[in-house]
Amino acid sequence: MTHETESLQSKRFSLVDGLCATWLSIQQTQSPEAFQGRGMVIPEGQVTVALSGQIQTEPFDDFHEAFETLRKEEMKAKDPLSILLKRLQCTTFEELAIYLALVPELNRKYERVFAYLQDNIKLNRATVGLCADLYGLVASLEDDELYRLSDRALPINRYVLDGEGNHLSRILSLREPVLLMLNGNTALPASLTSFCTMYRSAECPDPLIRQEECKQISRIVSQYQTDDFEQSCLIELCGAEGSGRKFLLEYASAACNIPALILDSRHLALESADSRLLLLDTIVSWAYLNHGFPVFTHFDFNEYAESDRQDLILSILQQIQGQISLLAICSEKILRLPVENFQVFMMELSACTLMEQHTLWDGFLGQSKLPPSPEISSLSLASIYTMTPGQIRQTLSAATADSCGRGMNCIDRSAITHGVQFLCRPRLSRLAEPLSSTFTWDDLILEKPEEDAIHDVCDRIRLRFQVNEEWGFNRKLPYGKGISVCLYGPPGTGKTMTAQILAHEFGLDAYRIDVSRIMDKYIGETEKKLAELFDAAKDCNAVLFFDEADALFAKRSEVNDSKDKYANAETAYLLQRMEQHNGVSILATNAVQNFDPAFKRRISFMINLSMPSPEIRKKLWHSVYPAGAPLHAGVDLDFFAEQFELSGSSIKNIAVASAFFASAKGHDITREDIGRAIRVEYRKNGRVFSEGDLFPSNT
């Protein structure tokens, strides 16, 4: 506390002490019998005095002069109380009310003094009535000035003075935000600490992206953050979680040197109506006293029904409108708000472009505690992953922790992969199931044209930044920037393995879409689940694998009844969402002829995985048995490759079955074991097995 502040505080104490002592002395002189037993009982003489009235006390010139001198000093002072009094533009009577509310917080002797003066041991705080009596020693009190303390529209009553009771019996006390401010404490009121954080920064870091949006929000905050306002200004920022809405407001807060109170609106929704009003009252009081503005995050209340959501939003806005000059809300989508009494500034934050994501990866990698390994490129990360700024920051935070836990001195590709999976994995679990992606390129044996086509898919993912951003194709593709692959062909030709390998190549999770969870017999429910699926996939950086995709992407038929109409609507909606999806989608089907023709136009790659040729089958047979498998010396795998036209999946099944047959008999894997396994596989697929195929006459 500075010397100037100590001097002012001492003068305030002295003034209150002088007024209390003088008022007590005058009353004791005028009616000494009224003070017999005061503080313990109410004697008969005191009732008589109360009913007969007392002589009106004239103001004291020395008190008036002392008060005026103190007010002049406060106009020049810069301590918290002087600043508050100047902002409130208080009258002398209102200043005295604030003094009387403050002094018991600084010295407990005033609890005894006020209880004695008011002849009530429970009234250890001054009331408006006592304030009026003491002010009578300073100047004459007009009725309109007295009743200003009952006008809840005035800032002194809205933000500063609290207390219970009717007018003259109203107890004078200070709200918690006022006490914290006057004591120089920057902490939040206790009732707000569980769901609010205060952002106050003198530094203003340069934003990596959205520089113009930062300037716009800063201008709004600077212009509307004033005590002189006709309507409250509402800043509405819409965008996906992690899109940078809160950062824009924090940037504006720092740029304008105005504190922001960041609060989670979902907490308010859990409170009762009365508790919510008290919390909002505290929030508004904090905003006024600290010359700041509240930021309501998660203002969608998506878990509520439409009518309940609107009622909740309306109750919050009604409590705030006209109380403070500026507030901000953050939501995922544009809200239909009842904002007739607000001046509204709305901004919708679109998804980051590849260039912006590259800038974010580059900037955040430069700020991380561990440097990136040489294999990490911000350019490749931006091409592979589609992320919001918040997701990039969280991914790098998780990657840094992972690298530290493994004793690494840099962030490697594995850590980035784990960070992405940790961040994005949970959201798709309701409508899809994780698909193991442990296979590598060595496990995938295809014909040369098919293998080249799969590598083309990888190039499309890896080189998106260069083609779309550097070469300018982004302007030609307003939507449909994702990568969709249709793998079609007979069963067992490697469609699922190809999807797993593509996911593993780029460190992405792969999810198999369960068609049974998507399709619904009720009208409109299938579209809702598809919307939920693609909304979740949008930010998950996962490969969507639609197995047996022809069930979902069937041809639209002529409308003969209502069933055809709604089935066609489902297909049309699915085609639309597929085209809008920016991630990687892989579809597998054995019946590509059942696909809707419009879908084929929207697909990036149509790759036919045909039955393997004899040469490919030889590679499959030789690769399917592990090095530790005991193959008998007389087994000729090339013979089986040439003799039996099998898919890669069937060859794998045969190899596994033959190994179990041999193990059960306790010998190496023989030609007979493999033949028995081929018989089982043929029978399973409804094919006819001829012993002559296994033992041709010329062998």
Domains 354-426 and 614-694 fall in the same CATH topology: yes
**Which CATH number does 614-694 carry?**
1.10.8.60
| Tally of CB atoms within 10 A around 249 | 24
630-648 per-residue burial string, b: 16 or more CB within 10 A, e: under 16: ebeeebebebbbebbebbb
- Cα 354 from Cα 482, distance rounded (Å): 12
| Backbone φ and ψ of 297, nearest 5° | -90, 165
Q: Which CATH architecture is the domain 354-426 placed in?
A: Orthogonal Bundle (1.10)
CB of 252 within 8 A of CB of 217? yes
CB of 253 within 8 A of CB of 222? no
Residues in the chain: 699
> Minimal CA–CA distance to 69: which of 7, 129, 131?
7
Confidence (pLDDT) at 7? 82
Confidence (pLDDT) at 309? 83
- Cα 464 from Cα 9, distance rounded (Å): 67
* Greater model confidence, 513 or 667: 667
DSSP state of 470: I
509-513 β-sheet, strand order: 432-435, 509-513, 542-546, 584-589, 483-488, 605-608
- Cα 227 from Cα 386, distance rounded (Å): 43
Confidence (pLDDT) at 87? 85
pLDDT digits (tens, 9 = 90+) for 198-216: 998 777 778 999 999 999 9
Confidence (pLDDT) at 141? 86
Domain edges within the chain: 3-182, 190-348, 354-426, 441-608, 614-694
Confidence (pLDDT) at 151? 84
Q: How confident is the model at residue 51 (pLDDT cuts 50, 70, 90)?
A: very low
| E strand or H helix that includes residue 205 | none
**Entry pTM:** 0.76
Round to the nearest angstrom and report the end-to-end CA distance of the chain.
Answer: 106
Superfamily, domain 190-348: P-loop containing nucleotide triphosphate hydrolases (3.40.50.300)
Answer whether residue 3 shows pLDDT above 80. no
Mean of pLDDT over the chain: 85
Instruction: Among 108-122, 560-574, 661-675, name the most confident range.
Output: 661-675
Answer whether residue 699 shows pLDDT above 50. no
Confidence (pLDDT) at 38? 61
Rounded percentage of the chain residues whose pLDDT exceeds 70: 89
Tokens of 44: 């008969």
Confidence (pLDDT) at 290? 87
| Backbone φ and ψ of 440, nearest 5° | -125, 180
Answer whether residue 53 shows pLDDT above 70. no
Confidence (pLDDT) at 558? 53
pLDDT digits (tens, 9 = 90+) for 483-500: 889 999 998 888 989 999
Q: How confident is the model at residue 684 (pLDDT cuts 50, 70, 90)?
A: confident
Please state which of the four CATH numbers 1.20.1250.20, 2.40.50.100, 3.40.1260.10, 3.40.50.300 is assigned to the domain occupying 441-608: 3.40.50.300
pLDDT digits (tens, 9 = 90+) for 381-414: 988 888 899 999 999 999 999 999 999 999 998 8
- Cα 549 from Cα 594, distance rounded (Å): 10
